[in-house]
Structure 1
Amino acid sequence: MSSTTRNGDTTFTTPSDREIVITRSFDAPRELVFAAFTQPEHLPNWMGPAIFTMVTCEIDLRVGGTYRWAWSGSDGAVMAMGGTYLEVSPPERIVAVESFDDFPGETRNTIVFTEQDGRTTATVTVLYDSPEARDATLASGMKDGMTEGYERLEELLRSLA
């Protein structure tokens, strides 16, 4: 059932028929990586494929708080999503529910940040409503988009260090 693929330095694992686990290590301290994942001044610089520009980045980082992100493509296409934070434990863990405007269903996302020897590993576990929703996401180009975003994050972290 479980499968693992690597896309550059990013690892994608499917431990169950409803989950995707994305793992990437960054050469930066945990507090800085956590900030890059949670602060509106950082997210537009890395999150998402480079062909999209983040045009909305609203974050209320607290339990019960919400977030809203939207990207615009050069062709005018818009991709938007939002969610609610269920758990916020800086700089260790975030749990949120999330949904895309144009994709059915909701996911439960858990991000865990662990640091060892100045390197931080971000482990994102995405739990889908159904196996079909997970499989549709895998087929959507999500791996390439996330990998590209994480490569941009690596560059941002170097500039912030």
Structure 2
Amino acid sequence: MARPEFIVSQADNEVIQRLLLDAPRERVWELMTDPELIPQWWGPAALTTTVEQMDVTEGGKWRYVQRDAEGNEHVFSGVYREVVPPERTAGTFEYENEPGDVMFEVATLEELPDGNTLLTIRSRFESSEALNAAVESGMEAGATESLERFEELVARS
């Protein structure tokens, strides 16, 4: 397994994540957009993730609640602005515990000639302050662990 790439672009107020997956694009899409599978890979393994809402259609909403061992909740939500199966999703992403900083996230699945899939996630922040706060809060560790867990799910499927 290759380690996911995590690139911070200060010039664009953006984080870019990339992961090469050993599976066809259609299968990766199915695993990525199945609400029953999200808890198996989304977020750190130490947290329990519950999908409260996930409507993968343009204008559809999503909302995930993560709980730690002490019962503390971390709530994430957004709205899909674009859904092009099995190629990409684009929409908002907000950490509800600290409302106000909404990022725009685009996830693209590129089908490669060898049958593998390159997943690229671009997260654009409203300001350099919001980007820096996310990076300083541990975004890289959490995002990397999520992608590693997703890669494991893809390998098992």
TM-score between the two structures when normalised by the length of structure 2: 0.92
Rounded to whole Å, the distance in 2 between the matches of 1:134 and 1:115 is 29
Given candidates 108, 111, 116, the residue that maps to 1:115 is 111
Q: For 1:79, what is the secondary structure of its paired residue?
A: strand
Structure 2 match to 1:158: 155
Q: Contact 1:51–1:73 at 8 Å: present in 2 too?
A: yes
Rounded to whole Å, the distance in 2 between the matches of 1:49 and 1:128 is 22
1:76-91 paired onto structure 2 within 5 Å: 76-91=71-86
Rounded to whole Å, the distance in 2 between the matches of 1:89 and 1:17 is 24
Residue 129 (structure 1) aligned with residue 126 (structure 2): yes
Shift of 1:55: 2.0
Rounded to whole Å, the distance in 1 between the matches of 2:32 and 2:133 is 25
Shift of 1:39: 1.0
Shift of 1:11: 1.1
Ranges in structure 1 where 5+ consecutive residues have no aligned partner: 1-7
Structure 2 match to 1:140: 137
Shift of 1:13: 1.7
**Cα deviations by residue, 1:110-137 (Å, 9 ceiling, x for unpaired):** 1110021121111111111110000111
Amino acid at match of 2:4: T
RMSD over equivalenced CA pairs, Å: 1.3
Rounded to whole Å, the distance in 2 between the matches of 1:13 and 1:149 is 15
Q: For 1:150, what is the secondary structure of its paired residue?
A: helix
- C-alpha change, 1:38 and 1:61, in structure 2 (3 Å) is same
Amino acid at match of 1:134: L
Structure 1 match to 2:95: 100
Rounded to whole Å, the distance in 2 between the matches of 1:74 and 1:50 is 11
Ranges in structure 2 where 5+ consecutive residues have no aligned partner: none
TM-score between the two structures when normalised by the length of structure 1: 0.90
Q: For 1:56, what is the secondary structure of its paired residue?
A: strand
Q: Contact 2:35–2:51 at 8 Å: present in 1 too?
A: no
Amino acid at match of 2:106: T
- How many residues align structurally? 153
Q: Contact 1:40–1:57 at 8 Å: present in 2 too?
A: no
Shift of 1:14: 2.5
